[in-house]
Every structure is written in structure tokens, then in C-alpha cells.
């Protein structure tokens, strides 16, 4: 797998340090961490391959707002795409389709060939996470699951590019937790292989569930304008930024520039959770990570996350994970 990238003066740069098809087919884990620096931008990437699965994630800073990109030597891979941070647009001249990239959104995409342009905000960090399944492996995993995935599988087996949905969906707390588990994996050897395999399949299942749910929703939407949708995403960012001392619904609505009714309905519509249900899930996922640090006692973690007491924290943790914080540690 490799890319040809052309800057504004049509100078060609070849990025060919990607993991290749042979490494993807190996039964053991291959991992590579690399930094790339070009006049048009810089990137720091982690690439992991094993048993028909290829993971790539990292940070990219683009210095030119439009680049011409061609992919070549591409394997037939289905991409689970997660835009963690940053916005952009990919326009494929071959398929005459445009893919919007927005922070905190995900999709499942099959693009066996690409020749087009990429537009990004310059001088800003773009963070992404991708899991690529070999096409046949993806179809084997999803063939008996749902009509939505079956239609997607039938289309890509005919080598036709497709996104499972024309609309990206917000990345859920559970997806973020799974992504963090993959990025922070400390296992080695065979255990690392098993762990990464299970987490990639879990991430696929979470995405499939989200798209199935979105596909079945028929209720009229509260958020009708792009502005209202952007305000809900802003409300989420504001809420998480102040997670340890959260605002009231009234304060959050005012900060986001939207009325309280639209905030409550729109948040539920977008994230399939209430405002404070989402916040609770976020804090408990953070607690799960903090418990791995044995230098922090449970009382400190409880206070750090803004719980009123250790008992309140323990009850919420047990309800979410079915185990007490002490036993989880």
C-alpha cells in the first residue's frame, strides 16, 4: 500500500513506508511506528498488522489546504474509519463521490481505488484511527448478521466502492474505550494477537449496532439544520471539558447557544443517551483507566472524577461494569 501526494506546485511525493499485503497476512503481530515530514505536512503514525487485519492511527498536521492524492498497490480492505479530531473533505474523481470527515464521527468504507483531492484545515492537528479488514474476512464475519451488512457485503464483493451510510455517526463512549484499549495494549506475543483480534471485532460490532439503530429510526428529527447539529457537538465537547465540575442543563444550553429543549432532544438523538447519562459513562470509562494506576487509591479517583462520595462512585461503577472498583483493579 502506498500513496502519491501532489502539492500545490504539482510536485509528487511517494509515501511507501506502509505495511504491505504480505505482512497483513502473517499470523503474528507486526508493529511499526514512524514519523513523516514533507513540505505539505507532517505525520506520526502507528501501523499494526496481523491475520488479515491492518490498524493505523496517528496525528497529522497539514500545511496546504488542498492536496491531490492517488493510492496504488492497495489491498482490498474494508475500513472502519474514526475521525477523532479535525475536519476535511475527500473527493474521489474515479467514483465521483465526496466523503466528509468530521471530528468525533465514524463510518465503514470500502474504497479499493482513490484518485482525487483532499481538503483539510491547515496548521491544525488531525487525529484518526482506522481498522482495515481484508474484504473476504469482513464478509465472513458479517454475512449472517443483518440485512444492512449483507447489502454492504454484496456490494463490495463486486468491487464497488461504498460507505455503509451516507451520514457519519458520532463515536460512542464504548468505541472510544475500545480504541484506547487497542492503542494502549501491553500484551506481547500470542496474547497480543488474541487481544487485538477481539478488540477489532468488538469495534466492528459496535459500529454495526450503531448503524443498525440509525437505519431503523423513523421518528422525526429534532435537529433540522447543520447549525443545530454543530451546537450539539459543541455541547458535548464543552460538557467533557468540564466533566469534573459539570454545568447544569441550563448552563450547557446557554454555552452551546441552543435552547434547552433542543439540547436534550438533540443530544439523545445524536448520541443515543441523555446529557448526564453520556457524562456518567465518560467518567466511568475514565475511572476504569485510572484504576490501572495502583498509586491512586479509590478515594482519590472518586474525588478526581467529581463524585460526592466513594460510596456513590462505587455504586455507579458496579452498576455499569457489574463489579466493584476494588475488584476491577
Question: 231: how many CB neighbours lie within 10 A of its CB?
Answer: 21
Instruction: Record the pTM.
Output: 0.82
User: What's the order of all strands across the beta sheet hosting 2-6?
Assistant: 12-15, 2-6, 66-72, 115-120, 88-92, 97-101
Q: Please state which architecture CATH assigns to domain 226-328.
A: Orthogonal Bundle (1.10)
The three grid cell numbers given for residue 223, joined into one nine-digit string? 435537529
Q: Measured between alpha carbons, how far is 264 from 65 in angstroms, rounded to an integer?
A: 36
pLDDT for the residue 14: 83
Domain segments of the chain: what residues? 2-216, 226-328
SS3 content of the chain, % helix, strand, coil (to 5): 40, 25, 30
pLDDT for the residue 122: 81
The residues near 64 (Cβ < 8 Å, ≥ 6 apart) are 7, 8, 40, 41, 122
pLDDT for the residue 121: 82
pLDDT for the residue 214: 86
Residue 142 and residue 208 in contact, taking contact as beta carbons nearer than 8 Å:
yes
Chunk the chain into consecutive blocks of 10 residues (it has 329) and report each block's average pLDDT, rounded to whole numbers. Answer: 82 76 85 90 93 94 90 80 91 84 91 88 87 94 88 91 91 94 94 97 95 76 86 94 93 96 93 93 91 87 90 91 86
pLDDT for the residue 220: 66
CA angle (218 as vertex; 80, 263 as ends), nearest 5: 80
Domain 2-216: top CATH class: mainly beta
Identical topology for domains 2-216 and 226-328: no
pLDDT for the residue 258: 94
Question: Cα-flanking dihedrals φ and ψ of residue 99, to 5°?
Answer: -115, 120
Amino acid at each position: 500500500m502506498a500513496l502519491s501526494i501532489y502539492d500545490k506546485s504539482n510536485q509528487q511525493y511517494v509515501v511507501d513506508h506502509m505495511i504491505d499485503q504480505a505482512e497483513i497476512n502473517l499470523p503474528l503481530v507486526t508493529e511499526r511506528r514512524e514519523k513523516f515530514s514533507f513540505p505539505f505536512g507532517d505525520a506520526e503514525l502507528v501501523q499494526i498488522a496481523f491475520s488479515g487485519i491492518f490498524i493505523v492511527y496517528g496525528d497529522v498536521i497539514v500545511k496546504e489546504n488542498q492536496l491531490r492524492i492517488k493510492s496504488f498497490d492497495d489491498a482490498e480492505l474494508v475500513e472502519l474509519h474514526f475521525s477523532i479530531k479535525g475536519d476535511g473533505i475527500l473527493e474521489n474523481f474515479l467514483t465521483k463521490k465526496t466523503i466528509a470527515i468530521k471530528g468525533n464521527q465514524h463510518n465503514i468504507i470500502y474504497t479499493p481505488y482513490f484518485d482525487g483531492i483532499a481538503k483539510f484545515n491547515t496548521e491544525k492537528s488531525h487525529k484518526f484511527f482506522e481498522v482495515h479488514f481484508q474484504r473476504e474476512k469482513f464478509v465472513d464475519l458479517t454475512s449472517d448478521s443483518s440485512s444492512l451488512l449483507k447489502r454492504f457485503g454484496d456490494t463490495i464483493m463486486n468491487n464497488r466502492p461504498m460507505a455503509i451510510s451516507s451520514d457519519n455517526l458520532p463515536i460512542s463512549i464504548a468505541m472510544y474505550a475500545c480504541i484506547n484499549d487497542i492503542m494502549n495494549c501491553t500484551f506481547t506475543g500470542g496474547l497480543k494477537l488474541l487481544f487485538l483480534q477481539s478488540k477489532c471485532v468488538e469495534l466492528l460490532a459496535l459500529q454495526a449496532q450503531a448503524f443498525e439503530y440509525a437505519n431503523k429510526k423513523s421518528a422525526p428529527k429534532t435537529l433540522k439544520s447543520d447549525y443545530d447539529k454543530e451546537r450539539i457537538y459543541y455541547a458535548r465537547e464543552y460538557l467533557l471539558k468540564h466533566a469534573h465540575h459539570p454545568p447544569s442543563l441550563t448552563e450547557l444550553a446557554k454555552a452551546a447557544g441552543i435552547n434547552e429543549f433542543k439540547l436534550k432532544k438533540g443530544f439523545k438523538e445524536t448520541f443515543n443517551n441523555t446529557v448526564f447519562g453520556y457524562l456518567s459513562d465518560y467518567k466511568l470509562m475514565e475511572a476504569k483507566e485510572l484504576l490501572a494506576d495502583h498509586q491512586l487509591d479509590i478515594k482519590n479517583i472518586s474525588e478526581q472524577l467529581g463524585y460526592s462520595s466513594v460510596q456513590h462512585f462505587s455504586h455507579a461503577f458496579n452498576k455499569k461494569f457489574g463489579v466493584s472498583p476494588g475488584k476491577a483493579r
